[in-house]
Structure 1
Amino acid sequence: MSDLAALGAYRRDPEFRIFREAWIAGVHKHYPGEPKPGYITPWDETPEWEREAAAAVCGQVRDFIEVSGGGHAARLTREQKGHFVAICWTAQMYRIFEDPKPGYVADWTDLPTWQRETDADIFECIERTV
C-alpha cells in the first residue's frame, strides 16, 4: 500500500494500530524508568497527525516486506529493521511539519537505545503480520 493509500485508510484499517501497539509495548519493554504519558497514549487518543504518520510508516514497512518476497526482509539485521522504521518516520515528519521538532527527525545514531530497540520491535511486529 502506498503512503497516500495508507493515509486515506488509517482510520478504516485497524491493522495500522499495530504500529502504535508495538510502539507502546516497546516503550514498556525498553524505556528506562517511567515513560512519558504521550509515549503510551492509546491509538484512539493519539493525535491525528501521529496516526497518519504511523499508518504511512506501517504501510511502507508492509510494502517493503511484501515486495522483498520470500522472506528476504528477514535477512535484515535487527538494527537495519529499526533503522528502516526510523527513516520512514523521519520522512513522515518532514511531510507533515514545516519545521519538525529535532527529536522527531533525529539521526539513527542520535536516537536513544530504547527508541532504536522499539523501532526494531515495530518492524518485527509488522513482519509477523505480513
Structure 2
Amino acid sequence: MDRRDDGNTAKLTREQKGRFVATCWIGQIYKHIPDPKPAYVADWADMPEWQRETDSDIFERIEQDL
C-alpha cells in the first residue's frame, strides 16, 4: 500500500481487504510453484474461515503500520 492513498483503504470492507491479500498470495504461489496444491490457491469462498480472517488481519496490520 502506498502512503499516497490518503487513507482510502479505510473505505474497503474487511472482506475486500482479505480478498486483496488472498489474491496477492495466489499470484505469488503461481509465480514460484508450477503445480501448487489446490488449498494454496483456493478461491475466497473455499478458504476456511480462519484463513479469511488471517488475510484480513494481515491487510489491516499493514494498513496500521503505514
TM-score (normalised: structure 2)? 0.94
Structure 1 spans left out of the alignment, 5+ residues: 1-64
If asked which structure has higher relative contact order (CA below 8 Å, sep 6+), I would say 2
Specify the SS of the correspondent of 1:99.
coil
Which structure has the bigger radius of gyration? Answer: 1
CA distance in structure 2 between the aligned counterparts of 1:74 and 1:94, rounded to whole angstroms: 29
Flag as ranges the 4+ runs of structure 1 deviating above 4 A.
none
Alpha-carbon distance, 1:89 to partner: 0.2
- Identity in percent: 59
Q: How many residues align?
A: 66
CA distance in 1, matches of 2:22, 2:48: 12
Residues 15-61 of structure 1: CA distance to partner in whole angstroms, max 9, x if unpaired? xxxxxxxxxxxxxxxxxxxxxxxxxxxxxxxxxxxxxxxxxxxxxxx
| Structure 2 residues not aligned, in runs of 5+ | none
TM-score (norm 1): 0.49
1:124 shift after superposition: 0.3
